[in-house]
Structure 1
Amino acid sequence: MNKLVKLYFLFLFLLGGCIDPFQVEVPEGEQLLTVDALIHSGPGPHRVTLTRSTTYGSSFQALIRPVTGATVLVRDEEGKVVFLAESTESRGSYFTPSDFSAEIGKSYTLFIETTEGRLYSSFPERVEGVPAIRNLEARTLVINQPGGSPARSGVQLIAEINDPADQNNFYFWRTGPAVYVLQTRPDLFTPRPTESNPSRDPQPKDCCAICYRTEISNNQSLFIAVDDDFNGLTTRVPVAFVEDDGLRFVDTYRVDVSQYGISQEAYRFLRLVKQQAEISGSIFDPPPATIRGNMISLDDPDEVVLGYFMAASEQTSRIYIRKDELTFRQNQSIVPDDCREVPGAVLEPPLDWRP
C-alpha cells in the first residue's frame, strides 16, 4: 500500500473519530380512535370495540390501547336508544343487551363519549335485507409455497345463494366459533425435567385422548361481494378459508358462517381495507393509507377516526366437515399430553353437536 493510500485511510479514521453522534428525537404519533362495530338482525349480544392506535411516519405500529370507560349507545331512526355495557373480561369491548337485534329497513347511528368528554358519531347505517344461504360446501384448497417449502392447505367454504333481482346487494361473510374433535397422545407424555425428577422418559397419562375443542375461527382475508355479475341469479361464492394445522381435520370440524347484507358504503370501506391488506409489501408499494370510515368527531371535524360502524341483516349456516371429505390433509400434529390440557378443549361435545 503506497503512502497516499495510507494517509487517506488515516484521514478517514480521524474524521470519523471527531464526529459527535446525532440525537434523533421521534415524537409520539397521533393517537387515533379506531371503531370496530357491527350490529345485525341476528341474536345478540353485538359488540363494539374501541381502541386508540399510535402511528409513526407512514408505518402503522402495533401500539394499541383499549378505550375504556366510554359511554356507547346505538339510536335508531325513531329515536329509540340502546346502551352498550363494557365487558369486564375484554377491555374496550362494549356489548348490546342479549335481546337486542337490528330491524331490516331501519337506520342506526352509533354515538360514543369518552371519559375525556370527547363526542363521536357515525353516519346513519341502513339495514338491508340478505337472502339465506341455500347450501354450504367444503372444498380442499392446496397452496404451493415457493422454494420447495411444504404446501399449505385447508378448506375453502363455498356458499350457494339466490340473489334478489329487485335490488343491488352487497355481501360480507364472517365465520363464527368452531368446534372440532381433538385427538392427542397422553401415552407419550413426558414431564419437563427438574432437579428432583431429572428423568426424560415418557410417563403416560391414563386420560384423555379425545376432546372437543372450541376456537375462534377468523378468516385470514376479507370475504365480500357485490352482485353486479349475478344480480337475480343463483350463484356460488367463496366465503371462508380454514387452514389445516394438523389438528382441525383429524376427525370432524364444525363451523358457522354468517352472511351479512351491508350498505354500499360499508362494502366500499371493506373493499379498500381488503385491497390494502393484500398489498405485497415490496419497496415499490405505496405506504399504507389511512382509510376513513363513517365515524366522525363532533368536537373536531378534522380529527381522523378509523374504522366503521356497520348495521346489517344476518343469515347463518352451519357445516360439519369430516376428514374423508378432504382430498389433501396435513400430517397430524402430535400433542403428547392429556387433551384437556389444550386451551378450549373439554371431554363432552356441545349439546347441539350433531354431525
Structure 2
Amino acid sequence: MLRKLFYIFLMTLPLSCIDPYKVDLVEGEQLLTVDGFIHTDPGPHTIKLTRTDTYGSVFEGLIRPVRQATVSVRDSQGLVTFLTEVEAGQYQTPNGFRVIPGLSYTLQIRLLDGKQYSSFPEVVHPVAPIDQISFRSVRLATENRLEDRFGVEFFAHFKDPSDQVNYYYWRMDPSVFVLVTNPELFTNPATHPTNPRGPAPKDCCDICFLVEKPRIQQFAIASDENFNGLNTVVPVAFIEDNGLRFKDTYRAEFLQMGISQGAHRFLRLIDQQLSITGSVFDQPPANIRGNIISLDNPDEKVLGYFIAASVQRSTVYVKRSDLEFRALPRIIPDDCRTVSNASITPPANWNPGD
C-alpha cells in the first residue's frame, strides 16, 4: 500500500523541461596560413594558402583553401616571378624556377578582396652536400609487451663547413616501395554464392610500386653550434614498419637544406609544440610568429613561414634483408593494382642496384 502511495505522489509532482544553457563564445580569428618553400632545385615549387576557422564552425577541422590570390616571388635583383594556381589554394612557380645562393627572396600575396601580405626577405644560404644516408632497424617497446613497434631510423652524414654558421633542415620527398600482395588468395562471393570465402585466385598482379606521401610531414633541424667544421651524423627520420613498406624494397629520398636563422628558430618552436605530451616537463605553449605580415594591418596575425633555401639530395634503398627487426607482414588478398597510387610500372629513376 505504501509503495502505491509513493508512485501516486511521484506522478502528481509538476514536470518541467530544462532550458539549455547558452554559452556565448568569442568568435575566433580566421587567420591566413602560408605553407611552402622554394629552393635551388628546378621547380615547380608549391606555396599553399589556407585559412583557419572559428571554433564550433561547421568547417572546423577542414582545410579551407584561399583561392584566386595573386602570388609572386621577388628576388633582391628586382626579378618578379608569378605563381599559378594549379589547385584550390595551391600556387606553383614556373617549371625550371630555382633560387640562387646569396640572393634574398620575398613572397608577396594579394587576396581577392584586395588585402596584401608580404614576407620578410629570406637570404639563400649554401648547404653542405650529403655524403650518405645510413639506416638501422629499430624495435620499440610499447605498453603492451606483445605488440612492439618496428621501424627504420635514417641518418644524414655530412661535413659541416667551418667558415660560416649553418642551419640545417631535412625533409623527405614522397617515398616509393615495392608493394607485395597475394592475388592467389582472392575470394569472390559471386563465384561461390554458397561459400563467400570460396577461392577465386587472380592471375595478376602480386608486385606493384606504391608512391607514399605521409599525411604528416616529418622534418629534422640542426645548427652547427656543436659540430662546426666537423664530420657529422644527424638522425633525420623514422619510418614505421606497417607490415607493407619493408616486405621487399623501400626507397627514401632526403632533402638537406641550408636555411636562415629565423627559419631555424620557427621550425624549432614548431617541433617543440608537436612534441608536447601533457607531461610537466613539456615546453610551455608558444605564440609562434612567422615571417609573413599584413601590409594593411601590421597587428594581424599570419601563420606560417616562407623559406628560401639551398638543397642537396640523397637517395637510399632499404631491402628487407638489410633489416634485423621487422613487423609481421600484412596480407592483401587481391591484385596489387587495386591499391590506391599503386602501379606495376616502376618509377623512371628506380635503381635499387644489386
- Please, what TM-score do these two structures have when normalized by structure 1? 0.89
The amino acid of 2:125's aligned partner reads: E
Would you say the 8 A contact 1:141–1:155 is kept in 2? yes
Q: Does 1:257 align with 2:292?
A: no
Q: Distance in 1 between matches of 2:85 and 2:195?
A: 48
Q: Distance in 1 between matches of 2:14 and 2:223?
A: 64
More strand by share: 1
Would you say the 8 A contact 1:48–1:95 is kept in 2? yes
Instruction: Give the secondary structure class of the aligned counterpart of 1:146.
Output: coil
The amino acid of 2:248's aligned partner reads: D
Q: Does 1:184 align with 2:187?
A: no
User: Which residue, 129, 132, 136 being the options, matches 1:132?
Assistant: 129
Identical aligned pairs, as a percentage?
Answer: 53
Residues 1:195 and 1:134: Cα distance change in structure 2 (over 3 Å): closer
The amino acid of 2:254's aligned partner reads: V
Q: Does 1:329 align with 2:326?
A: yes
Residues 1:260 and 1:99: Cα distance change in structure 2 (over 3 Å): same
Q: Where does residue 33 of structure 1 map in the other structure?
A: 32
Residues 1:196 and 1:83: Cα distance change in structure 2 (over 3 Å): farther
**1:234 positional shift:** 0.4
**1:147 positional shift:** 3.5
Kindly report which structure 2 residues correspond to 1:5-154, keeping only aligned pairs within 5 A, or say none: 20-56=19-55, 62-87=61-86, 90-148=87-145, 150-154=147-151
The amino acid of 1:306's aligned partner reads: L
**1:149 positional shift:** 5.3
Residues 1:192 and 1:81: Cα distance change in structure 2 (over 3 Å): farther
- Deviations along 1:268-291, one digit per CA (max 9) or x if unpaired, are 000000000100036997885441
**1:345 positional shift:** 1.3
Q: Distance in 2 between matches of 1:15 and 1:332?
A: 64
Q: Distance in 2 between matches of 1:117 and 1:299?
A: 10
Q: Distance in 2 between matches of 1:191 and 1:117?
A: 58
Instruction: Give the secondary structure class of the aligned counterpart of 2:158.
Output: strand
Q: Distance in 2 between matches of 1:35 and 1:221?
A: 18
Would you say the 8 A contact 2:135–2:155 is kept in 1? yes
Residues 1:218 and 1:255: Cα distance change in structure 2 (over 3 Å): farther
Query: What are the ranges of 5 or more consecutive residues in structure 2 without an aligned counterpart?
Result: 1-8
**1:318 positional shift:** 0.6
Q: Distance in 2 between matches of 1:220 and 1:246?
A: 20
User: Which residue, 232, 243, 247 being the options, matches 2:244?
Assistant: 247
Residues 1:19 and 1:229: Cα distance change in structure 2 (over 3 Å): same
- Deviations along 1:90-126, one digit per CA (max 9) or x if unpaired, are 3211110111000000000000011111100000000
Would you say the 8 A contact 1:175–1:219 is kept in 2? no
Query: What are the ranges of 5 or more consecutive residues in structure 1 without an aligned counterpart?
Result: 1-9
Instruction: Give the secondary structure class of the aligned counterpart of 1:228.
Output: coil
The amino acid of 2:39's aligned partner reads: H
Kindly report which structure 2 residues correspond to 1:222-301, keeping only aligned pairs within 5 A, or say none: 222-281=219-278, 288-301=285-298
Q: Where does residue 5 of structure 2 map in the other structure?
A: none
Q: Distance in 1 between matches of 2:161 and 2:15?
A: 73
Instruction: Give the secondary structure class of the aligned counterpart of 1:324.
Output: helix
**Aligned Cα RMSD in Å?**
2.8
**1:192 positional shift:** 5.9
**1:248 positional shift:** 0.9
The amino acid of 2:102's aligned partner reads: G
Residues 1:187 and 1:303: Cα distance change in structure 2 (over 3 Å): same
- Deviations along 1:218-264, one digit per CA (max 9) or x if unpaired, are 66643100111000000100111211111111111111100000000
Residues 1:204 and 1:167: Cα distance change in structure 2 (over 3 Å): same
**1:198 positional shift:** 7.2
The amino acid of 2:325's aligned partner reads: F
Q: Where does residue 5 of structure 1 map in the other structure?
A: none
Q: Distance in 1 between matches of 2:69 and 2:169?
A: 28
- Please, what TM-score do these two structures have when normalized by structure 2? 0.89
Instruction: Give the secondary structure class of the aligned counterpart of 1:268.
Output: helix
User: Which residue, 176, 187, 196 being the options, matches 1:199?
Assistant: 196
Q: Distance in 1 between matches of 2:97 and 2:224?
A: 29
Instruction: Give the secondary structure class of the aligned counterpart of 2:174.
Output: strand
Q: Distance in 2 between matches of 1:195 and 1:138?
A: 47
**1:131 positional shift:** 0.5
The amino acid of 1:265's aligned partner reads: G
Would you say the 8 A contact 2:269–2:286 is kept in 1? no
Would you say the 8 A contact 1:174–1:218 is kept in 2? no
**1:197 positional shift:** 8.3
Q: Distance in 2 between matches of 1:91 and 1:48?
A: 11
Residues 1:187 and 1:261: Cα distance change in structure 2 (over 3 Å): same
Mean Cα displacement is larger for which, 143-152 or 310-319?
A: 143-152
